């Protein structure tokens, strides 16, 4: 064996030993973080699954556990109690919960426009919110629409208690409408195409944002105590999520595929349509000019007044403590 070859082998052995010794130290340390959705996974949740598939959360030191939800009210309750550190919930309901003592902070706004909509059959004679007086509205018990209903009712001049709420499974809404066991239901706008397909020309619809009520919709919320102790984790989560939403706006195809791959019962075409409608809800002046995910201070103050006036707050609080924009990258904006 030549001296040159011996030196090469020795050098290779030294490098191998160095890499083996440094491997664990160089490995990315991750922390498992539970994240509860507002509902079962759908097109509006594609960015989280895409970022997870791409390894972006792992790169930020987060082993993300995405939990299926059963309504904004449940997500708010779990995050408020500290049972789950991060969640996705309707911001109006979050403000109501804060008024009851839940220490929750909004860190990223997903729906700049309210996604809530009312659906009914035109053949029932219903034409507006006022026509719902004395009628039955079917909805899951944990749905965020129930919390905000008093505000919509009062804004349209009817007694919130004039309707009867019927507990139904989310997948039973259309069947209940068709059978006329309920007179109306609520749903997010990103599922509008499903109602239109099933109800056809007999579909009655009113977006809450066109009925005098357009508070911020879904926002990512964090338990305040968790935020204090894990600011770096929350910062990483928000930065990755903002990046993911921007990527999915630019090219939704791989995002929807990641969603479908992780949730086998979903259909690609349906969730792509869902996502297209989500983009409408994400887009407003603030998301286009300030930053994607930004909570505007004037709108948050207006939402606080809306909740205080129409629903009531058990304990008044400073609205500025209910949200923060500190983790957002202002170079990332909504492009549509």
Tell me if 225 is assigned to some domain: yes
Give me the pLDDT at residue 245, please: 98
Query: In tens digits, what is the pLDDT along the chain, a chain of 336 residues?
Result: 444 343 444 444 434 434 344 344 334 689 999 999 999 999 999 999 999 999 999 999 999 999 999 889 999 999 999 999 999 999 999 999 999 999 999 999 999 999 889 999 999 999 999 999 999 999 988 787 888 899 999 989 999 999 999 999 888 999 999 999 999 999 988 889 999 999 999 999 999 989 988 899 999 999 999 999 999 999 999 999 999 999 999 999 999 999 999 999 999 999 999 999 999 999 999 999 999 999 999 999 999 999 998 888 999 999 999 999 999 999 999 998
Query: Are residues 108 and 226 both part of a single domain?
Result: yes
Secondary structure E strands in 53-176: 62-67, 86-90, 104-109, 116-121, 136-139, 164-167
Selection from 105, 97, 101 nearest residue 74 by Cα: 97
Give me the pLDDT at residue 28, please: 64
Tell me if 26 is assigned to some domain: no
Based on the structure, what is the number of domains in the chain? 2
Q: What distance separates the 2 farthest-apart alpha carbons in the chain?
A: 97
Tell me if 256 is assigned to some domain: yes
Cβ atoms within 10 Å, residue 290: 17
Whose tokens are 């507002």? That residue is 38
- How far, in whole angstroms, is CA 94 from its chain's centroid? 12
Range of the domain at 149: 116-210
Give me the pLDDT at residue 160, please: 95
Give the C-alpha separation, 104 to 223, whole Å: 5
Selection from 164, 158, 154 nearest residue 184 by Cα: 164
Task: Identify any residues that bridge with 36 across adjacent strands, giving them in sequence order.
Answer: 67, 87
Give the C-alpha separation, 164 to 162, whole Å: 7
Give me the pLDDT at residue 169, please: 87
Tell me if 241 is assigned to some domain: yes
Domain C-terminal end among 173, 189, 210: 210
Query: Are residues 124 and 201 both part of a single domain?
Result: yes
Give me the pLDDT at residue 11, please: 43
Give me the pLDDT at residue 146, please: 87
- How far, in whole angstroms, is CA 190 from its chain's centroid? 12
Query: Are residues 85 and 222 both part of a single domain?
Result: yes
Query: Are residues 108 and 220 both part of a single domain?
Result: yes
Query: Are residues 100 and 226 both part of a single domain?
Result: yes
Give the C-alpha separation, 304 to 98, whole Å: 11
Query: Are residues 102 and 240 both part of a single domain?
Result: yes
Query: Are residues 188 and 46 both part of a single domain?
Result: no
DSSP 28: P
Domain C-terminal end among 210, 228, 247: 210
Tell me if 16 is assigned to some domain: no
Are 240 and 47 in contact by the 8 Å Cβ rule? The answer is: no
Query: Are residues 109 and 223 both part of a single domain?
Result: yes
Question: What DSSP string describes 37-61?
Answer: -SSS--GGGHHHHHHHHHTHHHHTT
Query: Are residues 227 and 313 both part of a single domain?
Result: yes
Give me the pLDDT at residue 321, please: 97
Give me the pLDDT at residue 1, please: 47
Give the C-alpha separation, 290 to 302, whole Å: 19
- Round to the nearest angstrom and report the end-to-end CA distance of the chain: 67
Give me the pLDDT at residue 23, please: 41
Could you tell me the CATH number of the domain that includes residue 151? 3.40.190.10
Give the C-alpha separation, 13 to 17, whole Å: 6
Whose tokens are 């779990």? That residue is 78
Tell me if 3 is assigned to some domain: no
Tell me if 4 is assigned to some domain: no
Tell me if 271 is assigned to some domain: yes
Query: Are residues 167 and 74 both part of a single domain?
Result: no
Whose tokens are 């109006």? That residue is 92
Query: Are residues 238 and 100 both part of a single domain?
Result: yes
Cβ atoms within 10 Å, residue 8: 11
Q: Classify 222 as helix, strand or coil.
A: strand
Give the C-alpha separation, 325 to 336, whole Å: 21
Give the C-alpha separation, 54 to 42, whole Å: 18
Domain C-terminal end among 210, 243, 259: 210
């Amino acid at each position: 064996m030549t001296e040159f070859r011996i030196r090469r082998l020795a050098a290779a052995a030294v490098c191998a030993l160095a890499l083996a010794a440094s491997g664990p130290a160089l490995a990315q340390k991750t922390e498992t973080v539970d994240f509860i959705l507002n509902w079962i996974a759908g097109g509006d949740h594609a960015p989280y699954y895409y970022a997870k598939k791409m390894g972006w959360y792992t790169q930020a030191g987060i082993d993300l556990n995405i939990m299926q939800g059963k309504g904004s009210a449940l997500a708010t309750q779990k995050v408020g109690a500290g049972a789950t550190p991060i969640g996705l919930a309707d911001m109006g309901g979050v403000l109501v919960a804060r008024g009851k003592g839940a220490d929750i902070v909004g860190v990223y706004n997903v729906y700049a426009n309210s996604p809530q909509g009312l659906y009914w059959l035109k053949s029932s004679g219903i034409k507006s919110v006022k026509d719902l007086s004395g009628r039955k509205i079917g909805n899951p018990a944990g749905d965020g629409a129930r919390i905000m209903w008093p505000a919509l009712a009062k804004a349209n001049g009817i007694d919130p208690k004039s309707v009867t709420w019927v507990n139904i499974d989310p997948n039973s809404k259309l069947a209940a409408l068709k059978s006329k066991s309920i007179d109306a239901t609520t749903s997010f706008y990103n599922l509008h195409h499903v109602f239109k397909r099933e109800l056809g020309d007999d579909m009655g619809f009113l977006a809450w944002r066109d009925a005098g009520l357009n508070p911020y919709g879904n926002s990512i919320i964090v338990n305040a105590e968790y935020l204090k102790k894990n600011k770096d984790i929350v910062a990483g989560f928000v930065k990755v999520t903002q990046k993911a939403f921007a990527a999915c706006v630019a090219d939704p195809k791989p995002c929807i595929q990641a969603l479908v791959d992780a949730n086998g019962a979903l259909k690609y075409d349906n969730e792509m349509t869902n996502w297209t409608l989500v983009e409408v809800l994400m887009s407003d002046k603030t998301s286009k000019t300030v930053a994607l995910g930004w909570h505007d201070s004037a709108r948050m103050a207006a939402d606080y007044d809306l909740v205080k006036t129409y629903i009531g707050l058990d304990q008044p609080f400073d609205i500025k403590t209910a949200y923060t924009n500190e983790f957002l990258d202002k170079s990332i904006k909504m492009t549509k």
